[in-house]
Every structure is written in structure tokens, then in C-alpha cells.
Amino acid sequence: MPLQLTPLAAMALRYGAVAAIGFAAARFAPRGDFPQAIETQMDKVPDGVQLRRAPGQINASARAARTARLGRFGPRFRIDATALARLRIRRSS
């Protein structure tokens, strides 16, 4: 029974292209500096979603922290996502 290499080659080409794009994006993206004061404020956000209302605006914050594992015995990763938002609507004349 002959082994068909075409589907295997197509899958290898697809994964290789994704890996090359990821490598290029990581290599050529400019390094940014994130202020420590903002980092500290983001660490203080409680878990979950919160909405706050003030005169003329609505403030929202969300935080989700999870632990993920690659495979059954693979390495563990801690994923922490924080978002801060403000919606301000004003009348203009």
C-alpha cells in the first residue's frame, strides 16, 4: 500500500508558514516599554467584570486569570488578562 505524502506535505507547509510568520513578527516587532505605574494598577484589578457609572461616563474593568497546561504532563502556564475601559459620551454643538 503506497503512502500518500501530499496531505502530509500540505500540513507541514501550513505549520511551517505559521511558524515563520510568528518568528518574523516576534523578531521585527519594536520593543515597547510599559510604565510600572500602569502595571501596578492592572495588578490591583479584581477578578471578574465590573461596571461603574459616574456623571457623564461609564467605566469598566475585567480580569481573568487561569492556569493552562500543554498536554497531560506538559509545562504549566499562568495566563492573566486585564482590560480597562472608559466610555464617555458628550453632546457637541
What is the C-alpha to C-alpha distance for residues 57 and 80, in angstroms, rounded to an integer?
A: 27
Q: Percentage helix, strand, coil, to 5, in the chain?
A: 35, 35, 30
Question: pLDDT tens digits, the chain, 93 residues: what are they?
Answer: 677 778 888 889 999 999 999 999 888 888 888 889 988 988 888 899 999 888 888 899 999 988 988 888 888 999 899 998 888 888 787
The structure's pTM equals: 0.54
What's the pLDDT tens digit per position in 30-55?
Answer: 888 888 998 898 888 889 999 988 88
Q: What does each C-alpha distance from 44 to 29, 30, 40, 86 come to in angstroms?
A: 29, 28, 7, 17
**Nearest of 43, 57, 55 to residue 85 by alpha carbon:** 57
61 CB neighbour count, 10 Å cutoff: 19
